């Protein structure tokens, strides 16, 4: 007779669902679901949201005969915020992002184009945040964005691709395509922009342009000469070979794409970076995408607003008007706008304040609602078991860098150790930061920020550790080392040798002297020893002495006879043919 099989009930839920809604779908009292969450270390409320994976864990924990399925939400592709131009739209300069693997020469290439020398002033020769500027080529402007190359800056790098019309992928001719090159290609495709490949360092020994072209084809970027549509230009940032041709290609693509924007409308654009400057307050670097921006304009950017006090180029030169595709520096914000915020010009301060307050209220409501993910659930469960946390405070120069630093540090978390950010912010390390570090037993990490004398003195008094870095991977390595120190050491045993007992000469509560034959390895003392009889472990003792005949011996090898002196904490009735296995045991530090 066939055995009856029960079909599980299938319920569809969204990626994020409130505890109350989930309980309703599961047809169980909400108190039961909350109780299960609390059992797992989460003080849940009926309106708290949990993700799909956490919901699945709870269903399994409750023993319900229900299968959850993820409800397919309508997919909305993320597109660049590029305002459509009207029939009155005029040609605008292209916005070009330069991306690629770290050390492949992105910034050096831009320096050569701009005629500056920025890379020597950058920590470790690595771009730490997005920088933007315009250059003139044959009487036409081109806006360039230099994006960070280190893996920790993925979020900023992606944002750079979303801001642009053209992406230049820089590949070193002597090194070829690397992981961040592939990542940059993915970002550019996601943004739906035209890709130009600049094969850099063609002057170096070992440069192989054809090898790079072959690697590009492996990533679906077939060069034009091979029948594809990928534009490739060999260049050298050092000798400047190929640079005019690269700029010509950019302008050619611009003409083909027919990039246009409205100039005579209220300005709109995006915040590229934001930081606080001594004496100037909140300062934002922005990219104008449509309209004209002037000093005195009222603008809203997310939950912040400003009456533009100073409008400058990214070279700190005052300007009266900023037009589409122009990167500018803006002062006059009431609070710090966020990296990636869209900005727009409004009629007056009243409207600016109202819109920013509405945005702030919405953000506060979202921040106040806890979205409990499965990773956080596992983290909370482990916290009660064996999770050791390393408390830190992070201060950075600009918001994009702060986000990248914190995201990179959180990625170091394991089931045993984790980074806990007890505080973060922009600007110099303050006395309040030191006080918070003292009360929370935290280490302060500063990234591209200053340490005022007063804060340094307070840190010395309170014995607070402050570590300043200018290169992100050095900061990450420091935190990684601290987390490694928190890992419980691994106990490693090393087997030395084995002796078969042939005679017992002395047995007391604290000492055994016996003799026998070494049948395996080499005996050395001092060492630990296990005494076994058949499969039974009799005791674990210390071996403190060896004798070969009447003389003491340092070591005895396989095949030799010897006497051995053992120290023990209890009387052991040793017998002939018992085995004594010598070994060492040590604690070895582990690394993440």
Average of per-residue pLDDT values in the chain: 81
388-396 and 417-426 strand pairing = parallel
Lowest pLDDT segment from 86-90, 209-213, 223-227, 496-500 = 86-90
Average pLDDT of the segment spanning 410-435 = 85
Instruction: Report pLDDT digits (tens) over 456-495.
Output: 998 988 899 999 998 777 888 899 889 888 887 778 889 9
Burial 192-217 (b: 16+ CB within 10 A, else e): ebbbbbbbbbbbeeebeeeebbebbe
pTM summary value: 0.55
Give CA–CA dist 252/248, Å, rounded: 6
The whole-number pLDDT of residue 576 equals: 92
The whole-number pLDDT of residue 44 equals: 65
| Residue 382: pLDDT over 70 | no
The whole-number pLDDT of residue 209 equals: 87
User: CA 496, 501, 507, 513: dihedral to nearest 10 degrees?
Assistant: -50
| Residue 373: pLDDT over 50 | no
| Residue 120: pLDDT over 80 | no
Task: Say if residue 526 is preceded by a cis peptide, omega within 30 of 0.
Answer: yes
* Residues 374 and 34: beta-carbon distance below 8 Å: no
Closest CA to 447 of 462, 463, 425, 432: 425
φ and ψ at residue 195, rounded to 5 degrees: -110, 130
Q: According to the 3-state scheme, what is the secondary structure of 49-97? A: EEEHHHHHHHHHHHCCCEEEEECCCCCCCCCCCCCCCCCCCEECCCEEE
| Residue 218: pLDDT over 50 | yes
Give CA–CA dist 560/306, Å, rounded: 89
Contacts of 152 (CB under 8 A, 6+ apart): 404, 405, 407, 408, 472, 473, 476
**At 432, is the secondary structure helix, strand, or coil?**
helix
In DSSP terms, 329 is beta-bridged to 285, 312
Instruction: Report pLDDT digits (tens) over 13-53.
Output: 877 787 878 888 888 887 788 778 777 666 666 666 777 87
User: CA 360, 365, 367, 369: dihedral to nearest 10 degrees?
Assistant: 180
The whole-number pLDDT of residue 261 equals: 87
| Residue 74: pLDDT over 90 | no
- Domains with residue ranges and CATH for the chain: 9-70 (no CATH), 90-261 (3.40.50.300), 268-367 (2.40.30.10), 384-486 (3.40.50.10050), 491-588 (2.40.30.10)
| Residue 11: pLDDT over 80 | yes
Closest CA to 448 of 423, 467, 422: 467
Instruction: Report pLDDT digits (tens) over 319-361.
Output: 999 999 898 999 999 888 877 788 999 989 889 888 888 876 6
Give CA–CA dist 320/335, Å, rounded: 23
The whole-number pLDDT of residue 270 equals: 84
């Amino acid at each position: 007779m066939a055995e009856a099989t029960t079909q599980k009930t299938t319920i569809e839920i969204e990626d994020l669902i409130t505890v109350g809604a989930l309980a309703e779908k599961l047809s169980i009292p909400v108190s039961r679901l909350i109780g299960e969450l609390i059992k797992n270390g989460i003080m849940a409320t009926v309106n708290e949201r949990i993700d799909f994976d956490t919901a699945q864990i709870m269903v399994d924990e409750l023993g319900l005969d229900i299968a959850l399925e993820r409800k397919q939400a309508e997919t909305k592709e993320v597109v660049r915020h590029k305002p459509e131009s009207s029939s009155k739209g005029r040609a605008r300069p292209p916005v070009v992002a330069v991306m690629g693997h770290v050390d492949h020469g992105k910034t050096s290439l831009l320096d050569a184009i701009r005629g500056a020398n920025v890379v020597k002033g950058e920590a470790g020769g690595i771009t730490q945040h997005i920088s933007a500027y315009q250059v003139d080529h044959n009487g036409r402007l081109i806006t360039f964005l230099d994006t960070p190359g280190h893996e920790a800056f993925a979020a900023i790098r992606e944002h750079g691709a979303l801001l642009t019309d053209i992406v230049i992928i820089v590949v070193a001719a002597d090194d070829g395509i690397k992981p961040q090159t592939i990542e940059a290609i993915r970002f550019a495709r996601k943004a739906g922009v035209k890709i130009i490949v600049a094969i850099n360092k063609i002057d170096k020994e070992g440069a192989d342009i054809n090898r790079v072209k072959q690697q590009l084809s492996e990533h679906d970027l077939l060069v034009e000469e091979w029948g594809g549509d990928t534009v490739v230009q060999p260049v050298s940032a050092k000798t400047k070979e190929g640079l005019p041709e690269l700029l010509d290609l950019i302008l050619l693509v611009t003409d083909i794409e027919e990039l246009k924007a409205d100039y005579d409308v209220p300005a709109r654009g995006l915040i590229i970076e934001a930081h606080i400057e001594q004496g100037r307050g909140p300062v934002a670097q922005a990219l104008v995408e449509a309209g004209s921006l002037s000093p005195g304009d009222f603008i809203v950017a997310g939950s912040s607003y400003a009456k533009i006090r100073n409008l400058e180029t990214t070279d700190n030169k005052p300007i009266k008007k900023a037009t589409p595709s122009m990167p500018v520096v803006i002062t006059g914000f009431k609070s710090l706008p966020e990296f990636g915020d869209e900005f727009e010009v409004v009629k007056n301060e009243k409207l600016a304040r109202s819109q920013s307050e509405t945005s702030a209220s919405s953000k506060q409501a979202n921040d106040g609602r806890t979205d409990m993910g499965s990773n956080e659930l596992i983290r909370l469960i482990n916290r009660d078991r064996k999770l050791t946390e390393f408390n830190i405070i992070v201060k950075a120069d600009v918001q994009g860098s702060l986000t990248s630093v914190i995201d990179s540090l959180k990625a170091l978390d394991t089931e045993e150790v984790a980074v806990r950010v007890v505080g973060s912010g922009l600007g110099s390390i303050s006395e309040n930061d030191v006080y918070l570090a003292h009360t929370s037993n935290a280490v302060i990490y500063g990234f591209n920020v200053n340490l005022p004398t007063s804060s340094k003195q307070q840190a010395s008094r309170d014995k607070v550790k402050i570590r300043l870095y200018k290169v992100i991977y050095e900061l990450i390595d420091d935190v990684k080392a601290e987390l490694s120190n928190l890992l419980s050491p691994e106990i490693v045993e090393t087997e030395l040798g084995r002796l078969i007992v042939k005679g017992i000469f002395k047995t007391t509560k604290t000492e055994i002297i016996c003799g026998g034959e070494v049948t395996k390895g080499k005996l050395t003392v001092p060492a630990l020893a296990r005494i076994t009889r058949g499969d039974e472990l009799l005791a674990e003792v210390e071996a403190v002495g060896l004798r070969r005949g009447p003389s003491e011996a340092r070591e005895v090898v396989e095949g030799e006879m010897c006497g051995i002196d053992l120290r023990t904490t209890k009387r052991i009735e040793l017998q002939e043919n018992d085995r004594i296995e010598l070994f060492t045991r040590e604690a070895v530090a582990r690394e993440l």
